[in-house]
């Protein structure tokens, strides 16, 4: 179970970092494109939440050992 959560956590971290970089690039190159920036921020928030939830689960499972 821990391995599955670790793998999902790694995937979520990678995706979060990709979207974070895309948001920075979008804000630098097209700061007036508020729609795309807003959508990208929403996507980033989703992946940040998923990453935090998986990290919490890992910490909780390791504390039980």
60 and 22 Cβ atoms separated by less than 8 Å: no
What pLDDT does residue 46 have?
98
- Over residues 1-46, the pLDDT tens digits come to 889 999 999 999 999 999 999 999 999 999 999 999 999 999 999 9
Please report, for the chain, the start and end positions of each structural domain, with discontinuous segments joined by +: 2-64
> What's the token pair of residue 2?
């821990």
Q: Give the pLDDT score at 19.
A: 98
**Res. 65: pLDDT tops 90:** no
Rounded-to-integer distance, Cα 17 and Cα 56, Å: 18
Distance CA 44, CA 5 (A): 20
The DSSP letter of residue 30 is -
pLDDT of res. 62: 87
Contact 51, 14 (CB under 8 A): no
Residue 65 DSSP one-character state: -
Q: Tokens 């995937």 sit at which residue? A: 11
């Amino acid at each position: 179970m821990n391995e599955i959560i670790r793998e999902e956590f790694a995937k979520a971290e990678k995706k979060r970092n990709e979207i974070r970089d895309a948001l920075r690039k979008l804000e630098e190159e097209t700061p007036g494109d508020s729609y795309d920036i807003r959508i990208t921020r929403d996507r980033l928030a989703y992946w940040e939440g998923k990453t935090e939830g998986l990290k919490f689960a890992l910490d909780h499972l390791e504390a039980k050992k």
